Structure 1
């Protein structure tokens, strides 16, 4: 099965990260990426602050086994930086690199004042791009420190993540269930659209009904001839820009 964001969140909890903190971290990250994808830049910076607060709580837990409860105000950033830097048993990434990266996000949020716009400076593409890139790096570092998943695959999930609203698909225990009757080709398109990363052929086959599995190669060949998907040399199925537009505009995303 292809690695998902839900898998990464579960691995954080399995590693001991308090479940509410792990959920807040991933929820904030998903919301940030979603807003950035639709060019909603001001809330994206605000969500960067939310992500940083969750990430600082992860760092507190990593260094002390305790954390500031969600809903309770964190110590000031300079205090957090000093406390984490003095945690002699932790790695440089936990003590120094991640905290300083989070401080950059705080500076953009507070000194640009994305929350209040007191100085009249609107957040822009450069600010938001920096926030997203920095947050992605921080999350990838946490994955490296806490998770057993392949780092390259996890990095691809993090970078590709755009939380899409797909009411026709319900994820049940990591398995995508399509909630209406569709043809095999439409099902393949929907599932590829739903996945945040290219889907390995064997994974896509597992997601298909048994009756559609035997002819999946033929189904994909037909879709590829219409430029809707591309199957690469590693047998991963990519949805093309033409395919994305087709799925979004032809009514496939609407529930029954």
Structure 2
């Protein structure tokens, strides 16, 4: 039977475990729906829950009933370093990452009015990746499992950061088939970190006649939604295409 998050975190009190998974779910859900500000805000809340867990764990298992926010978050995280009887991950590594995660909430116009920078997709990506790492590290620590297994459990929680994209056996599928071929193409490009070949895109979208699909790419290229290199067949998402995905397809 595959390991799930509830089992992997079974050593934690039910209340704190529930809070941890609930906040993680809110981060992933808001990210998937393109709500960058809430995704970052819940990252701060996740940090508070994880601090409460680590504080209880490094206090001999004296866990608080519910998560709370310490008066000085950074100072409280640093104080965990002194509990040398416990693993480095619990008192050094995770707490230092928590401070960075909490800083995004407080300084990026998310946790309060007057932040330095408005919430954006790049920050939300950082929050999501950090949250995944933290939860995986907790699973590894509390379940005494290896890094890959812990990461697999977290990936199962996230499932997909784009709910309309499904990857199976190296093939990416757009699940919302009501979208136009143009929009499906943009979503596929958005879900990748670099250029994608026209052949792969046609395969993902089950377009058997490449010359016909190239007409779709040509229109996207002329609209500057993508940069299509006809010589190499490589397609790269352009700024207008990214904006279209974030403003219309992820809302």
Q: Give the TM-score taking structure 2 as reference length.
A: 0.61
Correspondence 1:41 to 2:45 = no
- The partner residue of 2:45 within 47, 50, 56 is 50
1:132 paired residue number: 128
Q: How does 1:121-200 map to 2 (within 5 A)?
A: 121-147=117-143, 151-159=147-155, 161-162=157-158
SS of aligned partner of 1:70: coil
Shift of 1:96: 0.8
Correspondence 1:89 to 2:85 = yes
1-side partners of 2:67 and 2:136: how far apart? 25
Correspondence 1:10 to 2:3 = no
Shift of 1:106: 1.0
What stretches of structure 1 of length at least 5 have no aligned partner?
A: 165-192, 199-229, 233-237, 249-256
1-side partners of 2:56 and 2:74: how far apart? 18
1-side partners of 2:23 and 2:104: how far apart? 17
1-side partners of 2:42 and 2:115: how far apart? 20
1:100 paired residue number: 96
Shift of 1:116: 2.4
1-side partners of 2:143 and 2:131: how far apart? 17
Matched residues, number: 177
2-side partners of 1:247 and 1:161: how far apart? 26
1-side partners of 2:139 and 2:33: how far apart? 26
1-side partners of 2:100 and 2:115: how far apart? 19
Q: Deviations over 1:118-175 (max 9, x none)?
A: 24731112211111111111111111111255642431342354479xxxxxxxxxxx
Contact preservation (8 Å) 2:41, 2:110: yes
2-side partners of 1:80 and 1:140: how far apart? 22
Query: What root-mean-square deviation, in Å, do the aligned CA atoms of Structure 1 and Structure 2 show?
Result: 3.1
SS of aligned partner of 1:137: helix
Q: Give the TM-score taking structure 1 as reference length.
A: 0.60
2-side partners of 1:94 and 1:148: how far apart? 13
Contact preservation (8 Å) 2:16, 2:67: no
Shift of 1:108: 1.0
What stretches of structure 2 of length at least 5 have no aligned partner?
A: 180-251
